[in-house]
Chains A and B, each alone.
Chain A
Amino acid sequence: MGYPHKSHPKETPILSKYFGEPQARTLDGWKERGGYRALQQALGMTPADIVNVVKESGLRGRGGAGFPTGMKWSFMKPGDGKAHYLCVNADESEPGTFKDREIMRWTPHALIEGTAIGAYAIGAEVAYIYIRGEFTEPLAVMENAVKEAYSAGLLGANAMGSGKRIDIHVHRGAGAYICGEETALMNSLEGRRGNPRIKPPFPAVAGLFGLPTTINNVETLAAVPHILINGAAWYKAMSLSSPKSTGTKLFSVCGNVTRPGNYEVTMGYPFKDFLYDMCGGPLPGRKFKAVIPGGSSVPIQSMEEAESTLMDYEGFVAKGSMLGSGGVIVFDDSQCMVRHIARLARFYAHESCAQCTQCREGTAWTTKIMERIEAGNGTMQDFDTLLEIGDNMTGKTICVLSDSCAVPVVSGLEKFRHEFEAHITGKRCPFRAAAAA
């Protein structure tokens, strides 16, 4: 459903069906809604069978990269004599994204169930749910739900009477965007500064505490119980365009739009209908100008691109962007793109862990130049400088935070160059000038 709004008839509410229903938060309420049947079923299957079902379903990671979940799980080799770990990435920090927040706030047991199934499937006895520090309410809800699950014997040394140990611990972050990067998340969990690690070794070889580890996003794991109960074919059939994108996806919508909120649609849904019908279109008297469709790290789309996009992994790439985390940021014609790109650059400069030179320096220089242009003090040469810095920030660092800072700048310069130029020729921000007039 489009919490905080009523569900739209064209939504496919599977993960979001119970958003807004306080009873669904409790263990009893969750069981009444069919909860923990999937875990019971999973514990009667072999881990390899579970991995195969998830592989067949076509489920891909919902955190941003879209890596096939079943394949990721299959990297965890059974019988290697080592402890395995599952980390749940609940560090949702990508500007524009607030779907995991609602999954945890409203359906905490969905995440616990998916996590327990995932842990069993990869041979892990312990799973950590790493929640960003600012998510105080989701944290309290999750902690309470984990307690309930332990009291009912669903977790612990003999999970659901299966003889298997499944422990789930909730771990609170402390304010660092970079900890959503999987290797930084593991460092943070180990009690270190959240600096990303060089890969390889990949987490499945040497992850948390140096042991084989899988990191999955909240939304990915919350989908797993539904796949086990309804079957891989059912999930795979939910696809409106590319067969490589299956199931439903929660999109968070924010910015200058009539009904911001979370909406769950089948992969491949037309973005135009989504923006103008489901989300209510622009505010009265306004027109949409640009969209960042997958969280702030993906390229900005012009409306021409956005309106011809089908909402799945391949569809967004075909129209100049990426699905990313599904955080849709909408800007209308009252907004200055230069100002927003400068603000996003400042975000990345603030959040850079600073271990790579290209990122530490590049994010800071980009911010300085963008803010200079926004203030009306830029020159036309600044464009080349920005692109050169952007080039030096892309593909050259330990993680992709650096690339993510370059993305809005490069795509913004390409698609909204006239706004940049207007700041330089007019020696002031045309939007501020219009507002002051």
Chain B
Amino acid sequence: MSAQREGATQADALSHASRDNVGEIPYEPVFVGAVREELDALLGRYPNKMAALLPTLWMVQRERGWVSEEAMVEVAALLELTPAYVKGVVTFYTMYHQHPVGRYFIQVCTTSPCLACGADKVVESLLGQTGCGDLGATSPDGRFTVIEVECLGACGFATPIMVNDEVIESVTPEKVSQILTRFK
């Protein structure tokens, strides 16, 4: 795809994104100031800009809590990609949130080794005590979202859960209420 055509596609997508947000708060770019400098330093690690896509998306999620369509458009322009391409990558990986989630995003490992140690009971306890009710739903107070995750790679410490970036090992249903008090 020529540079000119790519540019046009981005402009189209940008205007499309802004049409979807009539009456909403205008999109504030993520990559300004110190965050932009961080990205520029990151680009030096790779022979091309595309290779920086995953870390760039991580920066978006760190700054905004999720990766919106507008953010995908911004990232696409910065890395000289199309928004459709960026969306294709975002949707492939499970850890990029495509919609806002609770303040504390809880992932519970329920793959076979943890299941053998009672991970299903940990899920039940978390869904009940956070008020989320269902997997993937956010609690009414906006604090928690609970999902099942495929193998956290901490099988010897069943059941591991991940609260945002923190892994908590050896969780049992009995420990859940105590653990949750840490996350206001």
Contacts and interface: CB of A to CB of B under 8 A. Distances in A.
A135 interface: yes
A188 B116 contact: no
A343 B115 contact: yes
A261 interface: yes
B11 interface: no
B77 interface: no
Interface string B90-102: 0011111000000
A101 B93 contact: no
A191 B151 contact: no
A92 interface: yes
27 contacts: A4-B156, A83-B47, A95-B150, A96-B113, A96-B155, A132-B153, A134-B149, A134-B152, A134-B162, A134-B167, A136-B166, A136-B167, A169-B45, A172-B54, A174-B54, A174-B57, A174-B93, A175-B93, A176-B94, A193-B88, A209-B48, A209-B51, A254-B113, A255-B155, A255-B158, A262-B156, A339-B115
B110 to A, nearest CB: 8
B27 interface: no
Contact of B92 (A132, A194, A209, A262): A194
Give the interface residue-count category, chain A.
Answer: 35 or more
Given A191-B54, A254-B117, 10 more contacts: A83-B47, A172-B58, A174-B57, A189-B51, A191-B79, A192-B89, A193-B92, A329-B116, A340-B112, A347-B112
A98 B156 contact: yes
Contacts of B116: 255-256, 329, 331, 335, 340
Contacts of B157: 4, 98, 260
Nearest to A83: B47
A97 B115 contact: no
**Most A CB atoms within 10 A — which of B48, B81, B154?**
B154
B111 A343 contact: yes
Interface in B42-85: 45, 47-48, 50-55, 57-58, 79, 81
Given A95-B112, A174-B94, A327 B54 contact: no
Interface of B: 45, 47-48, 50-55, 57-58, 79, 81, 88-89, 92-96, 107, 110-113, 115-117, 149-158, 162, 165-167
Contacts of A327: 155
A94 B112 CA distance: 11
Contacts of A339: 115
Given A172-B58, A209-B47, A343-B111, A261 B156 contact: yes
Contacts of A347: 111-112, 150-151
A351 B54 contact: no
A260 B160 CA distance: 13
Contact of B156 (A133, A188, A254, A353): A254
B112 A172 contact: no
Contacts of B94: 174-176
Interface of A: 4, 83, 92-98, 101, 132-137, 167, 169, 171-177, 188-194, 209, 252-256, 260-262, 296, 327, 329, 331, 335, 339-340, 343-344, 347, 350-351, 353
B150 A351 contact: yes
B67 to A, nearest CB: 10
Nearest to A169: B45
A249 to B, nearest CB: 16
A191 B150 contact: no
Contacts of A101: 153-154
Given A174-B57, A209-B47, A335-B116, A134 B95 contact: yes
